[in-house]
Structure formats: structure tokens, C-alpha cells
Structure 1
Amino acid sequence: MTTLPAPTSTPSPWVLAWRRYRKSRLGVIGGWLLVLLYASALFAPFLAPYNITAQHEGLSYQPPQQLHIVHEGHLRSPFVYGFKQERDPVTFARKNVEDRENPIPVRLFVRGEPYRFLGVPTNLHLFGVPEGSYFFPLGTDQLGRDLLSRTLVGGQVSLTVGVIGVLISFAIGILLGGVSGYFGGWVDNLIQRVVEVLLSFPRLPILLALSTLIPARWPSTWVYLGIVAVLALIGWAGLARVVRGQVLAARGLEYVTAAQAIGARDLRVILRHITPNLSSFLVVTATLALPGYILGESALSFLGLGIKEPMTSWGLLLKDAQNFQTLRLYPWLLIPGLFIFLAVLAFNFFGDALRDAADTQSR
């Protein structure tokens, strides 16, 4: 008597998508890089050794300090060399140089400047040096402010602008695109004419024009919300057109017709039966749209029309590096641009991997 083989269970679509995603090495690397960037933004006050507004007198444009473990031939715990002033033999101007006779220990989990984390006041920082000494891993800017602290806190603005902007623009685009494709007729014509008008303008000029409407006297938080609103206002049009085409194709499917036949409301049919069918497309599109919002905020802040002091962002930090003479003398001012490059690249890699994972026809 022959025994029949045991039936094998078919993996769920989510399991198949996860397997396809893991096959993309660049996508996995991009995903982990995004986790690191957002984690650094979330824990920025803890990771940052100084307050972003703290100015250190006499320490402007200090180059990044190197971390050492060997002093005079002896191995010791991590330390940095402090500063001492000397006169330049040519210009006779005072300048700060490394004081190699007095190493300064770098300690973990030290008490420093107070801040609030998730509403809880604390003054614990990941690392620091004894009071009266300084450690600038990425150097300082023109006002002697620590560039590492400002870059970490600036990531909170640059990275969240994209997320909030995508949520707002996708809510508008999905709603208007779904209504346009589902009802058709004069509603479809009206919405599509508005979309065509928005898409006919070049992105950067209309972005600059809308950003100039934000009053300069607004506080930093209001300016931040204004930038998000501007980016979301011009970001929904392209999505609405694509969603309209998807809804036009989906409204003739059997389960949509059955829902209409039993008397389901139009809004319920759109949100419960049509929109979930677009979930994979929307997730991938959102991931690929995020870099555009990050670059848009960075461009506005770089041109002086975005985030204002005392708030900071990666684009605002790059504004200090727009002078070629300054950039030649102080190249570390370009470090925030490296974070923009890594974030945009990671989102593109991650989005491409998600697009492949969502492709049900791939093998």
C-alpha cells in the first residue's frame, strides 16, 4: 500500500514578499540604514553631547577631534587632546592647536546639559568629557556650536518632514484620486483639471513661491508646519492621477460590484474594498516619495526660505557651506550633506526592494 505525501502548506503572500525582499542586499542595507538614521534622530538629545544653541567662545571652526587610545606609547582608555592657543608664525594671529601633553578622557553615560526626552527631564548623555574640556567629533561651526549635536537634532526635522508630508499628501491624493476614479463625470473632470494645473508648474519655482508666503516672524515650530504644508500641497497631484487609474480598473471587479449591490455606501466601498487593493502600490510609492520631501526641505532651508534658527535641519546646516572659500578652509561643514545623501540613497534602495517584494508575478 502506497502512502500519499503529506500536503505542503502554501506560504502566505506576506511570507513570499518577505523572502523576495531579503533577496535584495541593497534593500536590506537601505532598510537597516534607515533604522539607524531614525533611531539617531529619536535619541538625538541623548546622543548629542551639547545643546544645539550652545556657543563655545574662542572655538569657532574647530576641526573634528580624533579619538585616541595610545598616549606616549602606552595603551589607555579612549581620550582626546584638548586645545591650547598659539600664535601663527606668519600672521601672528592666535589659533587653537592640540595640547598633546594633557589627554582628556572620554567617558560613557555622563551628566551634562539638561533636556527632555519623551517629556521626561534628564541630563544623561551617551558620552562626554570632564567639565571645562571639550570634545567635538565633527568639529564646530562659525559660532563655535558642536556640529555633531546640530546634525543629530537636525535629523529630527529633515526625516520627520518627509514622513508627515507623505501622510498628508497621500491622504489628499488617495481621497481625491479615489473620488475622481469612482464617480467619474463632472467630478472627475474637475479634479483632473486641478491636477493638471498643479502638474504644469515646475516643482522648484512653485515650492519657492509658496514658501515665501510663510511669514518671517513666525516661530520655528510654525515655520516647520508651514514647510510640511507647502511640500504636501504640491505632492498629492501625481499620486491622485495614478490612484484614479487604479480605481477605474478596480471598480469593475466582482467584489466591488457585489458590495454596491448589497447597498454599501460609496465611501465604504472606496475605503474598504478598493483602497486595500492598492496597499502594496501605496507603500512602495510612499517610500520612493520620501526622498523628494527631504530634498525639498533641504533646498528651502539651504536657500534661507525653510527652517529658521534656533531650530535646525540638514539643509540649514549646509547653508554655512555655500561659500567656496569657507568650504575650502572648513570642509567638515559638508558633513550634514553626507547625511542627506545617505538618507536619500537608503530610501531609494529600500523602495526598490519593496517594489520587487510587492511584485506578485516575480519568481
Structure 2
Amino acid sequence: MKKQNSMGPWVMALKRFKKNKIALIGAFFLLVVILATLLVPVFSPHPLTDINVVMRYKAPQISHPFGTDQFGQDLFTRVMYGGRLSLILSAFSAVITITIGTLIGALSGYFGGWLDQLLMRLTELVHVLPLIPVLIAFTAIFNMGLPPLERMIVTMGIYGFLNFPSLARLVRGQIMVHKKSEFMNAADLLGLSKTSKIFRHLMPNIFGVIIASSAGIIANALLIELMLSFVGLGFPPPTPTWGNLIPNIRSSGISAYYWMWFFPVTLISLTVISINLMGEGLRLALDPKEEGR
């Protein structure tokens, strides 16, 4: 018992996370997907841009586990390489959302007054904007003349900014609750600086909420990349992403070649589910109040 009490909060959180079997399954699958997208394209015997008309529309087999597409390209290699780009872009967008949302929420909740009013009006203004039409409009305006990679980086960056209001309001509410706690009264008596109070005492107490929200933010960013590609605003072929592999569904006669869409859709769905399961597990592990429930 004494040994457990001497553990740091991060060690105790890790122990609680390990007890959550569902979260562990999600984390394991997500790790496998990440490693596969990073390593498989490097070691795949089929080059990404290799075209073989003799192998067009081949069903899944040992040499091509996910089959081949209309150009005879190996779909397994393309799906894994596409996952690398999709995950990187989604993580980039999520970092922007989390950074802006956390900063605005923390400053607004702690200082209150005119700063709270100003930041919350900005948050409400962004929140009431119709996300998809505004994102499409900004994409068309700011991405003119840019190469595909830079265009997608700008697009996902814009989405990351437009997506911050929900997290900002959540962080603001948590900060307003915790800043009235006894440990904050003790920090006031010790004469700690405002920066120390916010980032060393308040923020660690709401990490669980932020992490749980972060998982959903990353998952939604993945789906946004899919949506943009489906409407023609994502990465153009031949560079694959999970998003631009899905429009294969619209091709004529595609029902006869189920593997063209089945594997990308299945992998995206399982990845999103895994991210959400892991995020919920981390939230429970980092919230000591959940222990024993």
C-alpha cells in the first residue's frame, strides 16, 4: 500500500490504463496501423507508382493481399502509404485545434472579465460558422496555385482553427471549476505567478478531459480529409490517401471489384474506433476520480 502511495500520478495513470482491456485493444490496433503505414510502403515488393496492366482488377491474393486497382497497382501498398499521409495531416490539424482551444479556454476561464468576454465572443463567432461550406470556401480562396501537399496542409490547418471552439469552451469550464479548489487557494497563499498557477497546477488537473477530446478531434480530422477528397478538394491522384481511395466507390461497375473500396473503408473505420477507445481509456486513467467506479 505504501508503495502505491509513493507512485507518481503518471505511473498510477499508466497502471489504470493497463487495466482497461478495451482501451488496450484500441491502442494496440492503432500502433499496428501506424507502424504499418510507416514501414510497409518501405519494404513492400510493389513500388507505389508501379503500373501493370496485366494485373488490373485482380482480387485479393497472396502476392496482393488487398487486390489491385484499375492500373494494376498493389492496393495494399497504396492503402498503407495513403494512411501515412492521412494520419500525419489529421495529427497536424488536431495539434492546431488542441493548441488554440486549450490556450483560449485556459486564459478565458482563469482571468475572466473583459478577456473572457472577448475570447468567448471570438469562439462563438467561429462556432456559428457552417464548418463545411466555410472550409470549402477558404480552401478555394487560400489554396490557389499551391502544389497538392501545401494545399492540403493549408486546408487541414484551416480546419484545425475552425474546430477549436468546442474544446475552448470545455477547457474554460474545467478551469473555472478547478480555480476555486483548495489547492489553488494554497497557490495564492504561496504567491505563485499566474503562469505557474495555470500551467503547473490547473492544466494537469484537466489533462484527462483534453486527451479524451483530442482523440475525437483526430478521428474527426481523418473523416474531414475523407470528405474533402470525396468532393475533389483533397490530394489528387496518383498520390494516395485514405480519402482519395474512397471515391473508387463512384466508379462505374465497381460493385464487381469490392476490394477497391472495402479495405480503405474498413481500415479507416477501425482506426477511428481505435482512436476513440484509446482516448476514452486515457481520460479514465488520467482522472483519479474515476478509479474504483
TM-score over 0.5 for the pair? yes
Q: Distance in 1 between matches of 2:100 and 2:256?
A: 46
Q: Distance in 2 between matches of 1:57 and 1:297?
A: 29
Match of 1:144 in 2: 72
1:127-152: CA deviations, max 9, x gaps?
xxxxxxxx433222222222111111
1:199-219: CA deviations, max 9, x gaps?
223433333333333435321
Cα gap change, 1:27 to 1:53, in 2 (>3 Å)? same
Query: Alpha-carbon deviation of 1:156?
Result: 0.7
Q: Does 1:332 align with 2:259?
A: yes
Q: Distance in 2 between matches of 1:198 and 1:187?
A: 17
Q: Counterparts of 1:272-351 in structure 2 under 5 Å?
A: 272-323=200-251, 325-334=252-261, 335-351=263-279
**Conserved 8 A contact 2:249-2:260:** yes
Match of 1:36 in 2: 32
Greater displacement, 168-177 / 248-257: 248-257
Amino acid at match of 1:238: S
Match of 1:24 in 2: 20
Q: Distance in 2 between matches of 1:212 and 1:181?
A: 35
Query: Alpha-carbon deviation of 1:265?
Result: 4.1
Query: Alpha-carbon deviation of 1:159?
Result: 1.3
Q: Distance in 2 between matches of 1:157 and 1:225?
A: 11
**Conserved 8 A contact 1:211-1:306:** no
Amino acid at match of 1:332: W
Match of 2:57 in 1: 61
Query: Alpha-carbon deviation of 1:264?
Result: 4.4
Amino acid at match of 1:62: K
RMSD: 2.3
Greater displacement, 333-342 / 38-47: 38-47
**Conserved 8 A contact 1:165-1:232:** yes
Amino acid at match of 2:180: G
2:107 to 174, 179, 198: 179
Considering Cα pairs closer than 8 Å and 6+ residues apart, tell me whether 1 or 2 has the greater RCO. 2
Q: Distance in 2 between matches of 1:26 and 1:186?
A: 44
Provide structure 2 residue ranges, at least 5 long, that are not aligned to the other structure.
none
Query: Alpha-carbon deviation of 1:307?
Result: 1.8
**Conserved 8 A contact 2:100-2:164:** yes
1:190 to 113, 118, 122: 118
Amino acid at match of 2:181: L
* 2:248 alignment partner, SS class: helix
Query: Alpha-carbon deviation of 1:232?
Result: 0.6
Identity in percent: 31
Match of 1:10 in 2: 4
Q: Distance in 2 between matches of 1:18 and 1:264?
A: 30
* 2:70 alignment partner, SS class: coil
* 1:213 alignment partner, SS class: helix
Q: Distance in 2 between matches of 1:50 and 1:217?
A: 32
Cα gap change, 1:213 to 1:326, in 2 (>3 Å)? farther
Cα gap change, 1:277 to 1:228, in 2 (>3 Å)? same
Q: Counterparts of 1:254-269 in structure 2 under 5 Å?
A: 254-260=182-188, 264-269=192-197
Higher strand share: 1
Query: Alpha-carbon deviation of 1:40?
Result: 0.8
Query: Alpha-carbon deviation of 1:305?
Result: 0.7
Q: Distance in 2 between matches of 1:357 and 1:34?
A: 18
**Paired positions, count:** 288
Match of 1:237 in 2: 165
Higher helix share: 2
TM-score, length of structure 1 as denominator length: 0.72
**Conserved 8 A contact 1:48-1:152:** no
Cα gap change, 1:177 to 1:24, in 2 (>3 Å)? same
Q: Distance in 2 between matches of 1:260 and 1:173?
A: 26
Query: Alpha-carbon deviation of 1:41?
Result: 1.5
1:217-241: CA deviations, max 9, x gaps?
3213202311320221122111111
* 1:304 alignment partner, SS class: coil
**Conserved 8 A contact 1:220-1:311:** no
**Conserved 8 A contact 1:220-1:310:** no
1:162 to 81, 90, 93: 90
Cα gap change, 1:202 to 1:31, in 2 (>3 Å)? same
Amino acid at match of 2:254: L
**Conserved 8 A contact 1:44-1:152:** yes
Q: Distance in 1 between matches of 2:213 and 2:86?
A: 19
Q: Does 1:250 align with 2:178?
A: yes
Structure number, greater radius of gyration? 1
